[in-house]
Amino acid sequence: MSQVHVIDHPMIQHKLTIMRNKETGSKDFRQLLTEIAMLMGYEVTRDLPLVDVEIETPICPMTAKKVSGRKLAIVPILRAGIGMVDGLLSLVPVAKVGHIGLYRNEETHKPVVYFCKLPEDIQERLVILTDPMLATGGSACDALAMLKERGCNNIRLMCLVAAPEGIAKVQAQHPDVDIFVAAVDEHLNPNAYIVPGLGDAGDRIFGTK
Ligand code: PRP
Ligand code: URA
């Protein structure tokens, strides 16, 4: 069974509260999501493999540690997952970035695929799949299945707010994928929106409503 890591650092909770507030506009919403993604990135990358490198300090030569960051790929689920990419790239600037385009059908709430472009060597990389919202879990599960069809076997899912229903679905369908979230909310409403949540993440990031 995959693990759920709730990253409830006070700075993350503080920033998330501002994001949840309906009075917060797109500019601040985007900025805060970037900042939270960077902070969450510390935990998501906590056990990244290190490699030895030989360097010289001003005092003497030494064998030091470096993250082997070229083995990482960040894959946002479009659109809203894009809002978490820059924060992660500020931690691992050499990571490659793929994109999976999915939207939820407004009536069925089922995801529809419209785009997939991934790094050629994606199957060799640790993949961090990003999406701020894990609601029914349909989009995340389909994106995870697409990554696995392309040979990925080392994937982490990074979300901002999750519903218990979404977590349960990912754990049932993808027990090998650990989930990192800043908050687990109460439930879904009849429109499959997270309660209390923060509304439609894509619309709030891009100002489309
Ligand atoms: C939102 C969100 C997730 C999905 C979560 O995207 O960003 O991708 O819904 O819902 P689920 O867990 O029930 O699948 P949306 O379909 O609204 O597309 P958008 O990001 O382009 O606005
Ligand atoms: N997608 C969102 O953007 N918000 C929700 O609450 C659920 C799905």
Q: What would the pLDDT profile of 16-69 be if each residue is shown by its tens digit?
A: 999 999 999 999 999 999 999 999 999 999 998 899 999 999 999 999 999 875
Query: What distance, in Å, lies between the first and last C-alpha atoms of the chain?
Result: 38
Residue 142 alpha carbon, nearest atom of ligand 1? 14
Burial class from Cβ neighbours inside 10 Å (0-12, 13-18, 19+) for residue 85 reads buried
pLDDT of residue 67: 85
Cis peptide before 79 (omega within 30 of 0): yes
139 lines ligand 1 (CB under 6 A): yes
| Closest ligand to residue 201's CA | 2
Q: Report the separation in Å between the CA atom of 202 and the middle of ligand 2, taken as the mean of its atom positions.
A: 8
pLDDT of residue 61: 98
Mean pLDDT, all residues of the chain:
96
Which protein residues touch ligand 2 with a CB less than 6 Å away?
80, 133, 135, 193-194, 197, 200-202
Task: Out of 7-21, 31-45, 107-121, pick the least confident.
Answer: 107-121
Reading the block at residue 175, the tokens are 């027990």
pLDDT of residue 69: 57
Is 200 a known active-site residue? yes
Nearest to 92 by CA among 75, 121, 68: 68
Nearest to 92 by CA among 129, 42, 54, 51: 42
95 lines ligand 1 (CB under 6 A): no
Taking a C-beta distance cutoff of 8 angstroms, is the pair 103, 94 a contact? no
| Closest ligand to residue 191's CA | 2
pLDDT of residue 70: 64
Confidence of residue 1 (pLDDT cuts 50, 70, 90): confident
More confident residue, 104 or 202: 202
Question: In the beta sheet, which residues pair with residue 78?
Answer: 101
Best residue among 82, 136, 139 to mutate for probing ligand 1's pocket (most ligand atoms within 8 Å of CB) is 139
| Closest ligand to residue 193's CA | 2
Using the 8-state DSSP alphabet, how is residue 166 labeled? H
